[in-house]
């Protein structure tokens, strides 16, 4: 890692990289000391391909996506290495492979051979056009979709082919227009953008007429006149025009200046009247100092207006077609210019999910770069063009960090543009993008490592400068971005022996313990401990920072034998002995049944069965002390490692199911776990994940536990929200899994009815007053087949205890629930509008499976909605209590760090799960986010709703 002060600025010349540089951010804590062996950069074949198909449209059925992906892979796999030379390939196959490699490699290297390569490739393609016409058209079409950073190179090649073969231009346009129309129907947003920009550039090689390009723009801009459509729809089509104008603006202004100005005037009116309520929730910083955080459409429009003022003169776009002016711009070529056919924009549907707005990330300005460089201004089109090229390369090569780094260093910038500064700025802009980064966070960390190795003398100092600037601006950075900064920084340090100039940050140690800078350092040490071990953190941290170093991650067993043992210690020792001996579940249960209930009689005499008897059902209900004893003892015995803990939970999984019936009991399990592991955050994250997977606790219980008073002091710590996010994502994955299963079954059965979401009125909602400690939820029966993780079956059927005292209680209630479920299923089947022909046995089984999956999906959606209701209600309760307390003490809540952490976590939940939350937004608005709550809470909800307004 680049360091400061007297230390090596590039981590030993880029040589002291850890062998584990590809480890995940969330590695287990107990790891060996990292290797200090020197890494050598290996040269990679320049012809490796790293391109992939873009996201499918949101309304596209799952089975259609799979079929299309299979068709694409069967035609060409761009990630597959191909070897040539003596083999069993036929001549035709060998030629096709060479064509694929040549076309995808075109322009990959930034050197002087491109001009000759284009001419040679044009000659080769012309000679093979008769034999391989369809293949050539298909591969070129793929290049347009998958390699946008080389757009002008491919437009030049196609222009040369059009000038050589008079029919090639029309054939290629037919292929492109067909793909564009398909992308419009399926709403493949990135593909649409790339085709619009590529078609715009074809006017520069005299393949497309400028009038047809202008007509295409006007068609897209006509969406601004639509009524009752969301703003994000119109934003997308306006954005398609704006990103294309740098390529076509000059030639359009020369031939159709009046029409172009009219188009620009229409865009200007639209930009002026746009709503921008959504901007604050997407900004990385809550302050506009030192750099304004502009909305993406506003910023790009300002850049286009300046470009127009400069008569469309820019210096960044690489335009190789000007080299072939004698061929492309001859009278013969000009006579075969084509017009685009009519392109229709599909009508809006409420089911379509459009791209969310974005904020333009800015970290550097001209004062931050060395004097010999000139950083383009925020509203200079060159700033956008370089950033766009960097983003395209990152997107194309995101599966291969080494090749991505190589391609980034080969960008052709204007002579004095500080490329390293712009690369760092774009990478951090992606990493901090809200709601989520475009790619996994680990990729950006590994990419920066590769760039440091490729440029050990120039890039690490820029990275150090960026870290310092980000640290200084932590007070106004969004919480979710601070967490990503912590995750990346700790990972990066782990690859450079945790070397950093910590002394430069010593001035912040006197700040509030909850201040962003202190929290950043503390959480960084926590992450570093996950990536190494506790003593390693002690070794690299200066003594002044010891108070921020996490405690040693050792378990705490409150029932240990001491001079003044607490209630239950003697039973805990018995349980420990039995668990160590791997005793059967009935032996453990026999001990638990002898534990008295101290809440009723602290001096109770031990009896064979001291558990609570429910007089109405004559059932056994285990009290919290019994659950606490069992969970504490089990986790204490399994505290040696993650594996020991998992094995203990698996062995006694059925016993958990017997002991725990209510949500309060599930929360007690989580409380007992927290009391064992208060010093080991990662262990808590992993254990809660396992408890949810095995359905020992439900997602709603985790949410209520997180906002409980026992965890109140931990609420600003990052691991708490890691647990909540993991829990919510499990619930979302369960719903998605059943949804995809239902779509597949609908396809097999040829059912034309749409899958309706569960109506709000059909879901029982329990809104508990703020005085109650738990947001309760009705007990739901979930079969073992419907685990949160199908691969995590806790115990085998043969391992389940058989004695009568281990039978599941409430069998009569279960039977009654089964009868109710059967009745509801029968009623639902009567209302289903499915026209069925006489069914054979296979079809009947499919229909039966369809009904089962439909029931599961309905149940999962009920649970999902209930979980979000609990989470948002507890947020409001917690924030309202804090605001009332501040008001009673006459304290400004805005001045307290606590409010920042919690209100921004609310924003994070909204953004991360916006697709799911929008399904129930009307219910949340009517039940929770009403006008009587504090405005600072309601404002977050309003900003969220504006994302799709």
For residue 691, pLDDT beyond 50: yes
892-944: pLDDT as tens digits: 988 889 999 999 999 999 999 999 999 999 999 999 999 999 999 999 999 99
Confidence of residue 779 (pLDDT cuts 50, 70, 90): very low
Q: Using the predicted structure, report yes or no on whether residue 37 has a pLDDT greater than 50.
A: no
Prediction pTM value: 0.82
pLDDT digits (tens, 9 = 90+) for 46-84: 333 333 434 344 444 444 444 444 444 334 444 443 333
Query: For 618-650, how does the pLDDT look when each residue is reduced to its tens digit (9 = 90+)?
Result: 344 568 899 999 999 999 999 999 999 999 999
Q: pLDDT tens, 833-851?
A: 444 455 678 888 888 899 9
* pLDDT reported for residue 749: 83
Query: Which of 341, 337, 339, 264 lies closest to 302, judged by CA?
Result: 264
Q: What is the pLDDT of residue 33?
A: 39
pLDDT of residue 334: 58
444 pLDDT exceeds 70?
Answer: yes
Q: Mean pLDDT throughout 750-769?
A: 44
* Digit-coded pLDDT (tens) for 516-565: 999 999 999 999 999 999 999 999 999 999 999 999 999 999 988 776 77
CB burial string 392-408: b at 16+ within 10 A, e below: bbbbbbbebbbbbbbbb
- What lies within 8 Å, CB to CB, of 146 at 6+ separation is 51, 52, 53, 78, 396
Name the band, by pLDDT with cuts 50, 70 and 90, for residue 9.
very low
The answer to whether residue 425 scores a pLDDT higher than 70 is: yes
* Biggest CA pair distance of the chain: 107
The residue ranking higher by pLDDT, 553 or 332, is 553
Two tokens at 90? 């036929």
pLDDT of residue 1: 52
- Residue 887 pLDDT exceeds 70: yes
| Lowest-pLDDT range of 95-99, 323-327, 461-465 | 95-99
Instruction: Locate 370 and state its tokens.
Output: 């060395």
What's the mean per-residue pLDDT of the chain?
81
The encoded tokens of residue 622 equal 């285990």
Task: Please tell me the predicted confidence (pLDDT) of residue 331.
Answer: 60
Averaging pLDDT over each range in 19-28, 610-619, 643-652, which range is the top one?
Answer: 643-652
pLDDT digits (tens, 9 = 90+) for 579-612: 999 999 999 999 999 888 765 444 333 333 344 4
**8 A C-beta contact, residue 723 and residue 684:** yes
Write down the H helix ranges in 397-458: 401-409, 419-431, 441-454
Question: What percent of the chain clears pLDDT 90, i.e. is strictly above it?
Answer: 62
Give Cβ neighbours of residue 661 (< 8 Å, ≥ 6 apart). 621, 779, 809, 810
At residue 839, the pLDDT reads 60
Identify each DSSP E strand in 30-120 by its residue range. none
Whether 373 shows a pLDDT value over 50: the answer reads yes
Residue 369 has what DSSP assignment? S
CB 340 within 8 A of CB 212: yes
Phi/psi class of residue 515: alpha, beta or left (left: φ > 0; alpha: ψ in -120 to 50)?
beta
> Which residues lie across from 378 on neighbouring strands?
none
- The whole-number average pLDDT for the span 124-129 is 85
pLDDT-derived band at 25 (thresholds 50, 70, 90) equals very low
Question: What's the pLDDT at 115?
Answer: 85
**% of residues, the chain, pLDDT over 70:** 77
Q: What is the pLDDT of residue 750?
A: 80
pLDDT band at 28 (very low <50, low <70, confident <90, very high): very low
Q: Decide if pLDDT at 426 tops 80.
A: yes
Asked if pLDDT for residue 325 goes beyond 90, the answer is no
Find the mean pLDDT for residues 192-217: 95
pLDDT of residue 922: 92
Question: For position 100, what pLDDT does the model report?
Answer: 85
pLDDT at residue 867 above 60? Answer: yes
Question: Is residue 229's pLDDT more than 60?
Answer: yes
17 pLDDT higher than 50: no
Q: With a cut of 80, say whether residue 347 has pLDDT above it.
A: yes
Cβ–Cβ < 8 Å for 595, 571: yes
| Domains along the sequence of the chain with CATH | 95-277+293-332 (1.25.40.180), 374-548 (1.25.40.180), 555-597+620-683 (1.25.40.180), 698-753+844-948 (1.25.40.180)
Which range has the worst mean pLDDT, 130-134, 590-594, 648-652, 686-690?
A: 130-134
Q: What is the pLDDT of residue 67?
A: 43
Buried b / exposed e over 90-106, threshold 16 CB at 10 Å, is eeeeebbeebbbbbbbb
For residue 612, what is the enclosing H or E element?
strand 612-614
Residue 464 confidence (pLDDT): 96
- Angle (CA) 772 778 779, round 5°: 125
CA distance 346 to 272: 25
- State the CB neighbour count (10 A cutoff) for residue 664: 15
């Amino acid at each position: 890692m680049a360091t400061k002060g007297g230390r090596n600025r590039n981590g030993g010349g880029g040589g002291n990289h850890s062998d584990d540089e590809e480890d995940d951010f969330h590695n287990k804590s107990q790891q060996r000391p990292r290797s200090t062996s020197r890494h050598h950069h290996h040269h990679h074949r320049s012809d490796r391909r790293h391109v992939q198909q873009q996201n499918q449209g949101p309304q596209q059925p799952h089975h259609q996506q799979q079929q299309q992906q299979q068709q694409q892979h069967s035609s060409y796999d761009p990630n597959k290495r191909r070897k040539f030379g003596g083999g069993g390939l036929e001549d035709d196959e060998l030629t096709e492979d060479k064509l694929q490699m040549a076309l995808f490699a075109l322009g990959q290297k930034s050197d002087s051979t491109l001009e000759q390569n284009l001419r040679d490739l044009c000659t080769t393609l012309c000679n093979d056009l008769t034999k391989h016409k369809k293949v050539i058209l298909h591969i070129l079409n793929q290049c347009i979709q998958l390699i946008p950073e080389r757009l002008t190179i491919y437009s030049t090649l196609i222009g040369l082919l059009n000038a050589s073969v008079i029919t090639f231009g029309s054939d290629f346009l037919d292929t492109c227009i067909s793909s564009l129309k398909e992308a419009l129907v399926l709403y493949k947003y990135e593909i649409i953008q790339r085709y619009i920009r590529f078609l715009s550039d074809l006017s520069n090689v005299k393949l497309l007429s400028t009038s047809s390009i202008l007509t295409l723009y006007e068609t897209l801009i006509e969406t601004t006149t639509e009524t009752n459509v969301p703003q994000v729809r119109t934003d997308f089509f306006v954005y398609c025009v704006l990103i294309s104008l740098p390529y076509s603006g000059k030639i359009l202004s020369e031939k159709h200046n009046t029409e172009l100005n009219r188009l620009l005037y229409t865009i200007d009116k639209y930009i002026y009247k746009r709503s921008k309520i959504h901007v604050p929730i997407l900004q990385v910083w809550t302050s506009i100092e030192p750099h304004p955080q502009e909305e993406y459409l506003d910023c790009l429009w300002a850049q286009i207006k300046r470009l127009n003022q400069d008569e469309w003169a820019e210096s960044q776009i690489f335009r190789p077609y000007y080299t072939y002016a004698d061929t492309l711009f001859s009278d013969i070529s000009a006579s075969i210019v084509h017009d685009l056919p009519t392109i229709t924009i599909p009508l809006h549907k409420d089911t379509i999910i459009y791209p969310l707005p974005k904020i333009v990330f800015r970290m550097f300005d001209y004062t931050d770069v060395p004097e010999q460089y000139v950083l383009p201004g925020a509203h200079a089109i060159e700033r956008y063009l370089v950033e766009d090229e960097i983003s395209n390369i990152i997107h194309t090569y995101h599966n291969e960090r080494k090749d991505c780094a190589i391609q980034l260093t080969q960008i052709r910038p204007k002579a004095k543009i500080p490329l390293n500064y712009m690369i760092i700025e774009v990478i951090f802009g992606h990493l901090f993008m809200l709601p989520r980064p475009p790619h996994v966070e680990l990729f950006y960390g590994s990419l920066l490592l590769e760039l440091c190795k490729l440029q050990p003398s120039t890039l690490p100092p820029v990275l150090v400068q960026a870290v310092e600037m980000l640290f200084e601006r932590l007070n106004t950075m969004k919480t979710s971005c601070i967490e990503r900064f912590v995750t990346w920084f700790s990972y990066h340090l782990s690859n450079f022996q945790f070397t950093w100039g910590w002394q430069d940050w010593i001035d912040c140690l006197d700040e509030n313990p909850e201040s962003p800078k202190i929290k950043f350092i503390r959480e960084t040490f926590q992450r570093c401990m996950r990536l190494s071990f506790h003593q390693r953190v002690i070794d690299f941290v200066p003594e002044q920072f010891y108070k921020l170093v996490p405690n040693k991650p050792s378990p705490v067993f409150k029932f240990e034998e001491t001079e003044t043992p607490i209630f239950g210690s003697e039973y805990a020792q018995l349980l420990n002995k039995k668990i160590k001996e791997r005793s059967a579940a009935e032996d453990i249960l026999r001990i638990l049944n002898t534990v008295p209930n101290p809440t009723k009689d602290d001096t109770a005499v031990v009896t064979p069965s001291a558990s609570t008897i429910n007089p109405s059902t004559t059932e056994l209900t285990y009290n919290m002390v019994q659950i606490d004893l069992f969970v504490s003892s089990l986790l204490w015995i399994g505290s040696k490692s993650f594996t020991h803990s998992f094995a203990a939970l698996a062995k006694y999984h059925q016993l958990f199911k017997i002991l725990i019936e209510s949500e309060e009991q599930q929360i007690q399990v989580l409380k007992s776990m927290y009391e064992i592991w208060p010093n080991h955050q990662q262990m808590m994250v992993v254990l809660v994940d396992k408890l949810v997977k095995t359905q020992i606790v439900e997602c709603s219980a985790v949410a209520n536990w997180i906002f409980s008073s026992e965890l109140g002091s931990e609420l600003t710590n990052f691991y708490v929200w890691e647990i909540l996010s993991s829990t919510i994502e499990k619930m979302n994955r369960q719903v998605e899994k059943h949804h995809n299963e239902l779509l597949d079954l609908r396809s097999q059965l040829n059912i034309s009815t749409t899958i309706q979401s569960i109506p709000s009125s059909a879901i029982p909602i329990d809104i508990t007053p703020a005085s109650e400690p738990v947001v309760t939820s009705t007990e739901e029966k979930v079969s073992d087949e419907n685990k949160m993780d199908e691969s995590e079956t806790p115990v085998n059927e043969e391992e389940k205890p058989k004695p009568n005292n281990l039978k599941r209680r409430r069998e009569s209630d279960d039977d009654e629930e089964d009868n109710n479920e059967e009745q509801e299923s029968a009623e639902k089947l009567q209302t289903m509008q499915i026209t069925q022909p006489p069914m054979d046995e296979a079809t009947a089984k499919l229909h039966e499976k369809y009904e089962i999956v439909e029931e599961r999906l309905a149940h999962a959606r009920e649970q999902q909605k209930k979980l979000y209701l609990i989470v948002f209600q507890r947020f409001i309760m917690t924030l309202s209590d804090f605001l009332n307390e501040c008001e009673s003490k006459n304290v400004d809540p805005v001045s307290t760090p606590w409010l920042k952490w919690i209100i921004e976590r609310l924003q994070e939940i909204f953004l991360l799960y916006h697709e799911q939350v929008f399904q129930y937004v009307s219910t949340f608005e009517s039940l929770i986010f009403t006008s009587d709550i504090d405005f600072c809470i309601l404002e977050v909800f309003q900003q969220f709703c504006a994302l799709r307004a």
